[in-house]
Amino acid sequence: MTIKEKILIVEDEANISGFIAAILAANGYDTMTARTGSEAISMITSHCPDLILLDLGLPDMDGAGILQFVREWSTCPIIVVSARNHERDKVAALDAGADDYVVKPFGTSELLARIRTAIRHTRTHLPNGEIAQSGQFRARGLAIDYDKHQVLVDGENVHLTQNEYKLVSLLGKYAGRVLTYDFIIRQLWGPKAKNDNQILRVNMANIRRKIEKNPAQPEYIFTEIGVGYRMIDPD
């Protein structure tokens, strides 16, 4: 028997939290619900959920405050579920440590896929917080060979430059998640790197020419306009 994953739903609207709880229960998860920020914090500290779904608009405090509070001591995956659809809200939540961002109204299968991705990432984390980066990443015709530092499409090496390879392998490491431009720049070029999206865009255009059949309609690496990039889920 497998142990059920416990998901905390932080949501002040009873009909929405009831709807989410029903979907999750039907898909084999245990759920708990908090309606306010203070309830959420006491549940997080006492129950250690496996994942948190976090609404940003709560009656007593902003969800961003909860995000910051949790990130001070926990790597528990957090998916922000919000009606706020502005790029700046998504970027702020992801940069504050949210693992993903789902906009209301959302599709059931989309929410479940994001949950699986976020939970899978906590499982592949090594104790020191690093993600194992050996072996291969595979998604359809795309493969990243982490040992040989190569990216292959349909079995052919596409000969990426060093920067292009670093960018693709980082996205592969966090496949299924949106990485913000700022996060990518800091990971690739260090905390003091200039926050210049232009270099990223140029690299991404070159990568797409090499790996995508139609760079204008990518099937492997997607752009979240104004936010960042997301690699397709692995097979």
Nearer to Ca ion, 12 or 30 (CB): 12
* CB-based contacts of 215, cutoff 8 Å, min separation 6: 205, 208, 209
> Which structure tokens are listed for 9?
């739903």
Closest approach of Ca ion to the CB of residue 61, in Å: 12
CB 231 within 8 A of CB 172: yes
Closest CA to 18 of 41, 6, 35, 5: 35
Closest approach of Ca ion to the CB of residue 235, in Å: 36
Nearer to Ca ion, 82 or 169 (CB): 82
Alpha carbon distances (Å) from 195 to 40, 108, 157, 188, 222: 34, 35, 31, 12, 20
Closest approach of Ca ion to the CB of residue 167, in Å: 36
What stretch of H or E contains 157?
strand 156-157
* CB-based contacts of 17, cutoff 8 Å, min separation 6: 9, 11, 33, 35
Write each residue from 167 to 186 as x if it is in contact with Ca ion (CB under 5 A), else as -, in one continuous string: --------------------
Closest approach of Ca ion to the CB of residue 43, in Å: 17
Closest approach of Ca ion to the CB of residue 21, in Å: 15
Does the footprint of Ca ion cover residue 135 (CB under 5 A)?
no
Nearer to Ca ion, 17 or 180 (CB): 17
CB 187 within 8 A of CB 163: no
Match 């989410």 to its residue by tokens. 20
Nearer to Ca ion, 12 or 182 (CB): 12
Q: What is the size of the binding site for Ca ion (CB under 5 A)?
A: 3
Distance, in Å, from the CA atom of 33 to the CA atom of 178, rounded to the nearest integer, reads 26
Pairing of strands 221-224, 30-34: unpaired
Nearer to Ca ion, 55 or 100 (CB): 55
Write each residue from 6 to 45 as x if it is in contact with Ca ion (CB under 5 A), else as -, in one continuous string: ------x---------------------------------
Closest approach of Ca ion to the CB of residue 45, in Å: 22
Nearer to Ca ion, 55 or 164 (CB): 55
Write each residue from 47 to 86 as x if it is in contact with Ca ion (CB under 5 A), else as -, in one continuous string: --------x-x-----------------------------
Q: Which residues bind Ca ion (CB under 5 A)?
A: 12, 55, 57
